[in-house]
Amino acid sequence: MTKTVSITIDNQTVTVPAGVTVWGAARKLGIHIPTLCHHFDVKPYSGCRVCVVEVQGGRALTAACSHPVTDGLVVFTNSPKVREARRLVVELLLANHPHDCLTCDRNQTCELQKLALDLGVKEIRFEKSKPTWEIDDTSPSLVRDPNKCILCGRCVRFCADKQTCAVYTFANRGFSSIVTPAFGKGLGEVHCTLCGQCSSICPVGAITVKDDTAAVIAAIDDPEKIVIVQTAPSVRVALGEMFGDAPGSVVTGKMVAGLKRLGFDRVLDTNFTADVTIMEEATEFTHRLNAGKDIPMITSCSPGWINFMEMFYPDLIHHHSTCKSPQQIFGALVKTYYAQKENLDPSKIVSVSIMPCTAKKYECTRPEMNASGYQDVDYVLTTRELGRLLKSYGVSFNDLAPLPYDPVMGVGTGAGTIFGNTGGVMEAALRTAYEVVTKKTLPAIEFTAIRGMGGLREAEIDLDGSKIKVAIAHGLGNARMVMESIKAGNPRGWHFIEVMACPGGCISGGGQPIATDINYRAKRIAGLYDDDRHLSLRKSHENPEVQQLYTEFLKEPCGHLSHKLLHTTIHNAHADLL
Amino acid sequence: MGSIATSGHAVDLAKLEPVFDKYKDMANGSLIPVLQGAQDAYGFLPIAALQAIAKRLNVPISQIYGVVTFYAQFRLVPRGKHVIRSCQGTACHVRNSARILESLKTVLGVAPGDTTEDLKFTLETVACIGCCSLAPVMMIDTDAHGRLRPDRVPKILDSYSN
């Protein structure tokens, strides 16, 4: 039995398990203690002092985010002393913070801005004392502005503890303190996988996503160009949050309508190529399994994960599926198959993707991603960029009448949809692999054994007599455990492994809307499973447009043309990084 | 901080082995003593040595950089064979130590905190070295040079030229 303690916060008594913090206990009572450095995804740090509370009998104010409850503790979260201290902390932070909120990427999603408003900070009595730093735009996906950094260390902790990449550190001391990669290098010069989680967890605008909207607008405004857009699975369960919807609301139809309003010539679905990925990957897996070669096979849809693998485990690259990600398969097909079918000049096609992911911005620029003879995907916009674009075009998103995707590459199955969450690619692959291998219909389509939020999940799947051991990892810390296990000779006997770089999968990618709800991951995942459940087609191989693609163009999965267009070689493209 | 020496000349990583060996039984917390040992071996902390330390101690390189820049005792840039400390204390100040420093900067072609390209001299300033009666004064390594005049600086430096 868990030990409980009883504590009194603001004259209300509550019983909580021993070990929780004052901050956590207050939440139970509906008391919101403001925080900046504290975040539910990382360990407490007690750096910012915004969450200070008064503990009866205590010498000084204490940080609620890390102070453990003890029996009989009496806490005041809103005494005059506390209010004054909090306001002072925020005032001091603002003194060193640029006052360019109106033009900041995080205007209205900035936690410092909100805090200043909530606490009623009306004047700043102090002068700026920090040095001015150069903006770091060396990364293909992210921009660091250390001048906006409030040294909360959320990115430092997330990158080190959750992603085990430890790109960031606190360097120097006093006013010269800065959060930076080692040796003051740019993000583009170090082993950063570009997962972008730091940009989501940053409370202010110190780490933001590179903005490619201007280039996309220019393409749309160019009458010569045919601008074709694809939308990733997980965008549809998150975009609505930027317009006031609850996390997990499925807004597919409105999103398609919104993209048409922006002037995209064709709106197509990445779910279609997720289904193609499954056709290829399931076939590749059965080939490898029969040949007993390069097992376990690991999925390759997540470019942050690909970067991680190439950077940290280059010797194990052959375990990767050679399949490109759905985004890149889409890009290769849109300028070949689609262009032929629709009688379009591929040189005039501008291929844009809407992604939850910051690493996708890099993936599309990799030199080998030009199988069509052109850059397969020209621009990647994140969900956040799309939301902003819709707002700037005056699109009243909530009032839009839903529209369907355009044909030929616009049909996606439920299997494609669940690519957006941890376990989804595996489940989609198993739905197809089972039926292709056994030639029987699946008795139960939902593989509930592999669902959930466990960081590293395992299951044994019976493919009509042959047992397949699968593993699913999300978050790069869990991915590292998988790789260490493979390095040690794969003692768990895995055959097929799904890895996604971001915790929860693409639904919480670095380019998704800034989360305001502690359960946003579970809610977005529930949204995708819900979407899957309501689709009439739920298995990739039953997608009629995919069947048409193979009959008319590719002929067979993993065939000659597939290898040319849909598969790639993964190699260490990052050897010169620090 | 001056620019960080990235490669320049090859770093002999074998010099780290005795350092690792000395602290091999420390389960945790050996980073700072190892860094001190490495600095003793190289005179500063070359990046290649820090990368080797990161690998051996299984500590992220970013974290090592954080430690190295936090403590004033660690240096990421090589120091010269001779360290010049130009005194800027009160007594030296009124005796025009500013002109001595100017002369040092001109002759050496470096700013305080930096090292000459031939790695002969590192120029530093110091608040007081306790020889106020000799003001204006500077120290080169362990020698005090007092009652300085700017025009004497080149000759003094010459005497350390090898």
* Boundary of a domain, candidates A209, A238, A257: A209
- Same domain, residue pair B89 and B148: yes
- Same domain, residue pair B99 and B120: yes
Shortest distance between the Cα of A169 and any Cα of chain B, in A, equals 5
Q: What is the pLDDT of residues A449-501, one digit of tens each?
A: 899 999 999 999 988 788 999 999 999 999 999 999 999 999 999 999 999 99
Q: What is the pLDDT of residues A166-213, one digit of tens each?
A: 999 999 999 999 999 999 999 999 999 999 999 999 999 999 999 999
Tokens 């317009």: give the residue.
Answer: A243
- The catalytic site residues of A sit at 281, 284, 301, 321, 360, 363, 368, 506
Q: Is residue A344 part of a domain?
A: yes
Q: Which residues in chain B have Cβ-Cβ distances shorter than 8 Å to A158?
A: none
Q: With 60 as the cut, is the pLDDT of residue A442 above it?
A: yes
Q: With 80 as the cut, is the pLDDT of residue A25 above it?
A: yes
pLDDT score recorded for residue B113: 87
Q: Is residue A465 part of a domain?
A: yes
CB atoms within 10 A of CB A267: 23
pLDDT score recorded for residue B1: 35
Q: Is residue B8 part of a domain?
A: no
Question: Which token pair is A32?
Answer: 């919101």
- Same domain, residue pair A336 and A399: yes
- Same domain, residue pair B54 and B107: no
Q: pTM value?
A: 0.91
Which helix (H) or strand (E) element contains residue A5? Answer: strand A4-9
Report the C-alpha gap between A150 and A131 in whole angstroms: 13
Q: Is residue B7 part of a domain?
A: no
Average pLDDT, chain A: 95
- Same domain, residue pair B65 and B91: no
| Domain containing residue B128: CATH number | 3.40.30.10
Q: With 60 as the cut, is the pLDDT of residue A56 above it?
A: yes
- Same domain, residue pair A250 and A201: no
Q: Is residue A455 part of a domain?
A: yes
Q: With 90 as the cut, is the pLDDT of residue A271 above it?
A: yes
Of A166, A172, A173, the CB nearest to B62: A166
Q: What is the pLDDT of residues B109-135, one digit of tens each?
A: 999 988 999 889 999 999 898 999 999
Q: Is residue A88 part of a domain?
A: yes
Q: What is the pLDDT of residues A218-229, one digit of tens each?
A: 999 999 999 999
**Sheet of strand A456-463, all strands in order from the earlier edge strand to the far edge:** A297-298, A496-500, A466-474, A456-463
pLDDT score recorded for residue B9: 60
pLDDT score recorded for residue B162: 67
pLDDT score recorded for residue A4: 93
CB atoms within 10 A of CB A308: 27
> Can you give chain B as a three-state secondary structure string?
CCCCCCCCCCCCHHHHHHHHHHCCCCCCCCHHHHHHHHHHHHCCCCHHHHHHHHHHHCCCHHHHHHHHHHCCCCCCCCCCCEEEEEECCHHHHHCCHHHHHHHHHHHHCCCCCCECCCCCEEEEEECCCCCHHHCCCEEECCEEECCCCHHHHHHHHHCCCC
Report the C-alpha gap between A181 and A183 in whole angstroms: 7
- CB A415 within 8 Å of CB A278: yes
* Boundary of a domain, candidates A209, A227, A259: A209
Q: With 60 as the cut, is the pLDDT of residue B5 above it?
A: no
- Same domain, residue pair B56 and B91: no
- Same domain, residue pair B52 and B98: no
Q: With 70 as the cut, is the pLDDT of residue A44 above it?
A: yes
Which helix (H) or strand (E) element contains residue A268? Answer: strand A266-269
Closest CA relative to residue A100, chosen from A145, A141, A136 = A145
Worst-scoring range by mean pLDDT, A354-358, B129-133, B136-140? Answer: B129-133
Of A160, A171, A173, the CB nearest to B65: A171
Report the C-alpha gap between A390 and A394 in whole angstroms: 6
pLDDT score recorded for residue A408: 97
| Domain containing residue A67: CATH number | 3.10.20.740
The length of chain A, given as a count of residues: 578
Selected for mutation to probe chain A from B62, B67, B68, B75 (highest A CB count within 10 Å) is B62
Contact A171 B60 (CB under 8 A): no
SS3 call for A360: helix
Could you tell me how far CA A522 lies from the centroid of its own chain? 13
Report the C-alpha gap between B83 and B143 in whole angstroms: 10
Report the C-alpha gap between A201 and A149 in whole angstroms: 12
Q: With 70 as the cut, is the pLDDT of residue B7 above it?
A: no
Instruction: Give the largest CA-CA distance in chain B.
Output: 56
Q: What is the pLDDT of residues B23-52, one digit of tens each?
A: 988 877 899 999 999 999 998 999 999 999
| Domain containing residue A359: CATH number | 3.40.50.1780
Q: Is residue A573 part of a domain?
A: no
Report the C-alpha gap between A255 and A249 in whole angstroms: 12
Shortest distance between the Cα of A561 and any Cα of chain B, in A, equals 43
- Same domain, residue pair A325 and A445: yes
- Same domain, residue pair B137 and B99: yes
- CB A99 within 8 Å of CB A148: no
Q: pLDDT class for A42, splitting at 50, 70, 90?
A: very high
Count of domains for chain A: 3
User: Where in the sequence is the domain holding A60, given as residue range(s)?
Assistant: 4-93
User: Where in the sequence is the domain holding B147, given as residue range(s)?
Assistant: 82-158
Among A252-266, A512-526, A560-574, the range of highest mean pLDDT: A252-266
Report the C-alpha gap between A536 and A406 in whole angstroms: 18
User: E-strand spans in A348-505?
Assistant: 349-355, 379-382, 456-463, 466-474, 496-500
Q: With 60 as the cut, is the pLDDT of residue B22 above it?
A: yes
Q: Residues with Cβ < 8 Å from B21, sequence gap 6 or more?
A: none
pLDDT score recorded for residue A572: 73
Q: What is the ipTM of this complex?
A: 0.90
Mean pLDDT across A20-44: 93
Q: pLDDT class for A1, splitting at 50, 70, 90?
A: low
Q: Which residues in chain A have Cβ-Cβ distances shorter than 8 Å to B66?
A: 169-171
At position B61, the amino acid (one-letter code) is: I
- CB A426 within 8 Å of CB A469: no
Q: What is the pLDDT of residues A120-159, one digit of tens each?
A: 999 999 998 888 999 999 999 999 999 999 999 999 999 9
Task: State the count of interchain CB pairs (< 8 A) between A and B.
Answer: 37
Q: What is the pLDDT of residues A286-340, one digit of tens each?
A: 999 999 999 999 998 999 999 999 999 999 999 999 999 999 999 999 999 999 9
Question: Which token pair is B106?
Answer: 């001109």
Contact A578 B70 (CB under 8 A): no
Q: Which residues in chain A have Cβ-Cβ distances shorter than 8 Å to B69?
A: 171-173
Shortest distance between the Cα of A366 and any Cα of chain B, in A, equals 27
Q: Residues with Cβ < 8 Å from B69, sequence gap 6 or more?
A: A171, A172, A173, B1, B76
Q: Which residues in chain A have Cβ-Cβ distances shorter than 8 Å to B64?
A: 182
CB atoms within 10 A of CB A46: 15
Selected for mutation to probe chain A from B4, B53, B69 (highest A CB count within 10 Å) is B69
Q: Is residue B4 part of a domain?
A: no
pLDDT score recorded for residue A516: 81
Q: With 70 as the cut, is the pLDDT of residue B6 above it?
A: no
Q: Is residue B154 part of a domain?
A: yes
* Boundary of a domain, candidates A174, A209, A244: A209
Count of domains for chain B: 2
Q: Is residue A232 part of a domain?
A: yes
Report the C-alpha gap between A337 and A346 in whole angstroms: 10
Mean pLDDT across A418-447: 93
Q: With 70 as the cut, is the pLDDT of residue B2 above it?
A: no
SS3 call for A2: coil
- Same domain, residue pair B65 and B90: no
- Same domain, residue pair A558 and A544: yes
